[in-house]
Structure 1
Amino acid sequence: MDLEEDIRSLQLDSAEDINGVVNPEDEKPDVDNFDKMEDEGLLSGNDPKQEVQAQSVEAEPKAKDKEIPPVQDEEDEHMKKRHLNVVFIGHVDAGKSTTGGQILFLSGQVDDRTIQKYEKEAKDKSRESWYMAYIMDTNEEERVKGKTVEVGRAHFETDTTRFTILDAPGHKSYVPNMISGASQADIGVLVISARKGEFETGYERGGQTREHVQLAKTLGVTKLLVVVNKMDDPTVNWSKERYDEIESKMVPFLKQSGYNVKKDVSFLPISGLMGLNIKTRLDKSHCSWWDGPCLFESLDSIEVPMGDPQSPFRMPIIDKFKDMGTVVMGKVESGTIKDGDSLLIMPNKDHVKVVAIYIDEKRVNIAGPGENLRVRLSGIEEEDLLSGFVLSSAANPISTVTEFVAQLQILELLDNAIFTAGYKAVLHVHSVVEECEIVELLEQIDPKTRKPIKKKVLFVKNGAIVLCRVQVNNVICVEKFSDFPQLGRFTLRTEGKTVAVGKITAI
């Protein structure tokens, strides 16, 4: 198939050409087309992660713990439940870590004694209201500053679903870490502070609420739960007017960012600090007007299509360590892995054997799409692995490239910047972070007709959709968006700002 046919086979709808993201400057998004996006099946698929050492609430097994737990029966009740990854996103200080900590406490993952210890520690730092966040923010820097830096990771269960919580940083300095969390997620929980002034700060241009929503959509988070937190704050006091004001402002922006609000977005009020409307529904004494579900019920009700267990195996590596051999961590994006499998580590083509597979600290024989795994391998040393390498089927390995053709949506360039051949940026694709250069602009595409409008284009501005050739410094593992959406979508960032999002159309 020639390049032009390949491009047309991947056309998206209107400004959703790049996963529904449109230029944030647009005042009047084409709302009529939003409902068409999801029907085309182009916004499904979920991404892995970039290089960030995820921290776990549960301690990793130490090398000295020589006793290997027995393999769990494949029909174990725990494994019968579906598994979903939930990323908590939103502006700094919205209450993401506190809400995540409260979820773990209410689901029985953290005991009262631990909570009392955290309460005392927070009080000693004169930060009494931060104690729940300490469950997710485990290092000292995060606790002192009250800012999540790395992506916290923890697990909890409801009656029907096993969840992995990914607690993403809200501060703009740590957006690359937020990308790594969102790229692994199936569901996004957007935490918004209802406190007077805090919602406005996060929502205004430059606030992370906007950037996080756009990035989440780009990274394949198709379902969004918007929780309006701090409803118990004295400036709010469970005010329906404040809740409605926030919802009325967020809905147009979510549509503009590509979300089908009726099908894929839910709103609910909570108090993360007090644990209200999280595990059980709100009592009328707290909030007389809310008659909807609690957070656990909302999470349980979300339907997310899973990857194909029969397709070639792909698991991007997000972290590695030594523990009686070499252990890699990652999320299965497609295919199935079994104990004893012979696989390839790409791009180096190292042959490895699967020695053990762990899900949530339990050893299992088999795991499928969507699972977050630790896999012990033989045949490779830990120092020979990098984040961004991919554990891959030996019969049908992932593609390795130094150059690819992509369709890009320009969001917002830096002041005085021109997007043209020679433009350099940092590429984020699954768990890869790599410097790249735009080597050629092939054609500009009309957002409405989805057809080329300019050939031999020299440069483009904010909001443009352009087909271009991208070159990276080192060999990376990627796939075409049409084959593996989660391994074929990416973002471009420059000087701490997301300037473009795209999908790989040819390799």
Structure 2
Amino acid sequence: MDILRFATAGSVDDGKSTLIGRLLFDSKSIFEDQLEAVERTSADRGEEYTNLALLTDGLRAEREQGITIDVAYRYFATPRRKFIIADTPGHIQYTRNMVTGASTADLAIILVDARKGIVEQSRRHAFLATLLKVPHLVVAVNKMDLVDYDRAVYERIVDEFTAFAAKLDITDLTFVPISALHGDNVVERSGNMPWYEGSSLLHHLEHVHIASDRNLIDVRFPVQYVIRPHRSTDPELHDYRGYAGQVAGGVLKPGDEVVHLPSGLTTTITHIDGPNGPVAEAYAPMSVTLRLADDIDISRGDMIARPNNRPEVAQDLEAMVCWMTPDRQLTPRTKLTIKHTTRTARAMVKELNYRLDVNTLHRDEEATGLGLNEIGRIGLRVTQPLFVDDYTRNRLTGGFILIDEATNNTVAAGMIISAR
């Protein structure tokens, strides 16, 4: 079975955590003691229904305030597919958490309260999902029970969001009317909305096609670790030298000719070892160990690619970044550490081109810095060459994080627009 990673987003109180709780509950993916604890807490709080949001809102502050603060990851599976859920906050002050949760997602679910319609946060999260190149977008119009399952309300929201989406780069957009509280159209089709002819939300999640979303053309293998079992008593392992990492793009097979970067030396793959033994081919996002025909000086941070299909080798980058720390601002001349795939280097912000208002999409070219949760376009100069692709082409080799040199805290997430 393949794995679908999806993130939930939307405005405050749109029901993101309740929806995930409903998915876990109706798919029988929670333990009895978890359900008993949630039922007990709901009863203690005098709530009429079992508060399924408590399955994901685990922080005390989240329960006290009734909001989601941090990204909560949950896991469940059906006979058809495995799922990793990132429940992301709706408040604007937690934009960085939403960026974190959506950065690795195959699909984003944007919840819209049927009573309120499309609000500012709905547009903001839709834009962030497209900025992060999440391939599939689902707009779940929630709380349909509170508008008497009115078809006109649903269609008005669909029309309004479709008009807004025309301004964005969305490749796959789906609408589903639901009630997370009662389970309408979440796991099973609802009899309360006979006018809706589409599938339930879970059915869509099970069947959405994600295999073609990954880049299977450009071979990219960032080397994470060199495996050399020096002390092995097994004669077959005495001369073993393998290069471990996660495939970031393309398909690798024994016999393929590859090039090592930065040296530019070419060689051939002789074996590919997986966690359970040799494999015939490796593709993203598999973690494997490559064995090569020639002894080349390869270390962590290097890249293996095709001789005629190489990434850009660059020290100057144009990128969009989301600033994630309240302790300081990102300004020109700021010095940071950049982590790109498995390579780490020092970097300096050369320029801030503009700060982006994610609500209006206005570019403020007079901005002098980026504060917490703000997004902007910057120019970076890196002390050593990085092997990069544009983020639109490969999210793994096109993404990076920036780290504070003094505290070692992650202060920004970035997406490469171009390299030179």
Q: TM-score, normalised by structure 2?
A: 0.63
Matched with 2:397 is 487
Give yes or no for the alignment of 1:139 onto 2:50.
no
Provide the aligned C-alpha RMSD in A: 4.8
Matched with 1:282 is 190
Q: Could you list the per-position Cα deviations for residues 407-444 of structure 1 after superposition, in whole angstroms to 9, with x for gaps in the alignment?
A: 6699xxxxxxxx9x948799999899x99634387xxx
Distance (Å, rounded) in 1 between the aligned partners of 2:160 and 2:302: 46
Distance (Å, rounded) in 2 between the aligned partners of 1:175 and 1:440: 20
Answer yes or no: is the 8 Å Cα contact 1:314–1:392 preserved in 2. Answer: yes
Deviation of the 1:404 alpha carbon:
2.4
Give yes or no for the alignment of 1:180 onto 2:95.
no
Distance (Å, rounded) in 1 between the aligned partners of 2:43 and 2:223: 42
Matches within 5 A, 1:64-83: 81-83=1-3
Match of 1:297 among 197, 203, 206: 203
Distance (Å, rounded) in 2 between the aligned partners of 1:101 and 1:90: 16
Q: Could you list the per-position Cα deviations for residues 37-79 of structure 1 after superposition, in whole angstroms to 9, with x for gaps in the alignment?
A: xxxxxxxxxxxxxxxxxxxxxxxxxxxxxxxxxxxxxxxxxxx
- Look up the SS of the partner of 1:256 in the other structure: coil
Matched with 1:223 is 136
Answer yes or no: is the 8 Å Cα contact 2:314–2:387 preserved in 1. Answer: no
Match of 2:284 among 366, 369, 372: 369
Unaligned runs of 5+ in 1: 1-80, 317-329, 338-354, 358-362, 376-389, 411-418, 442-458, 493-499
Deviation of the 1:129 alpha carbon:
5.3
Deviation of the 1:269 alpha carbon:
0.6
Matched with 1:469 is 379
Distance (Å, rounded) in 2 between the aligned partners of 1:365 and 1:136: 39
Deviation of the 1:365 alpha carbon:
8.8
- Look up the SS of the partner of 2:316 in the other structure: strand
Answer yes or no: is the 8 Å Cα contact 2:317–2:419 preserved in 1. Answer: yes
State the one-letter code of the partner of 2:388: E
Give yes or no for the alignment of 1:406 onto 2:406.
no
Matched with 2:11 is 91
Distance (Å, rounded) in 1 between the aligned partners of 2:12 and 2:129: 16
Deviation of the 1:103 alpha carbon:
0.7
**Relative to 1, partners in 2 of residues 1:491 and 1:250: Cα closer, same or farther, differing over 3 Å?**
farther
Answer yes or no: is the 8 Å Cα contact 1:87–1:188 preserved in 2. Answer: yes
Answer yes or no: is the 8 Å Cα contact 2:314–2:386 preserved in 1. Answer: no
Deviation of the 1:502 alpha carbon:
5.6
Distance (Å, rounded) in 2 between the aligned partners of 1:130 and 1:424: 49
State the one-letter code of the partner of 2:134: V
**Relative to 1, partners in 2 of residues 1:282 and 1:157: Cα closer, same or farther, differing over 3 Å?**
same
Match of 1:193 among 77, 92, 113: 113
State the one-letter code of the partner of 1:231: M
Deviation of the 1:405 alpha carbon:
2.6
**Relative to 1, partners in 2 of residues 1:125 and 1:426: Cα closer, same or farther, differing over 3 Å?**
farther
Aligned length: 331
- Look up the SS of the partner of 2:152 in the other structure: helix
Q: Higher relative CO (CA 8 A, sep ≥ 6), structure 1 or 2?
A: 1
**Relative to 1, partners in 2 of residues 1:402 and 1:369: Cα closer, same or farther, differing over 3 Å?**
closer
Give yes or no for the alignment of 1:241 onto 2:152.
yes
**Relative to 1, partners in 2 of residues 1:440 and 1:142: Cα closer, same or farther, differing over 3 Å?**
closer
Distance (Å, rounded) in 2 between the aligned partners of 1:93 and 1:425: 39
Distance (Å, rounded) in 2 between the aligned partners of 1:310 and 1:480: 10
Match of 2:221 among 313, 320, 323: 313
Answer yes or no: is the 8 Å Cα contact 1:193–1:229 preserved in 2. Answer: yes
State the one-letter code of the partner of 1:293: S
Larger radius of gyration: 2
Matches within 5 A, 1:199-210: 199-200=117-118, 203-204=119-120, 208-210=121-123
Answer yes or no: is the 8 Å Cα contact 1:183–1:430 preserved in 2. Answer: no
Deviation of the 1:301 alpha carbon:
2.7
Answer yes or no: is the 8 Å Cα contact 1:331–1:370 preserved in 2. Answer: yes
Match of 2:180 among 272, 276, 291: 272
**Relative to 1, partners in 2 of residues 1:253 and 1:391: Cα closer, same or farther, differing over 3 Å?**
farther
Match of 1:437 among 339, 349, 371: 349
- Look up the SS of the partner of 1:175 in the other structure: helix
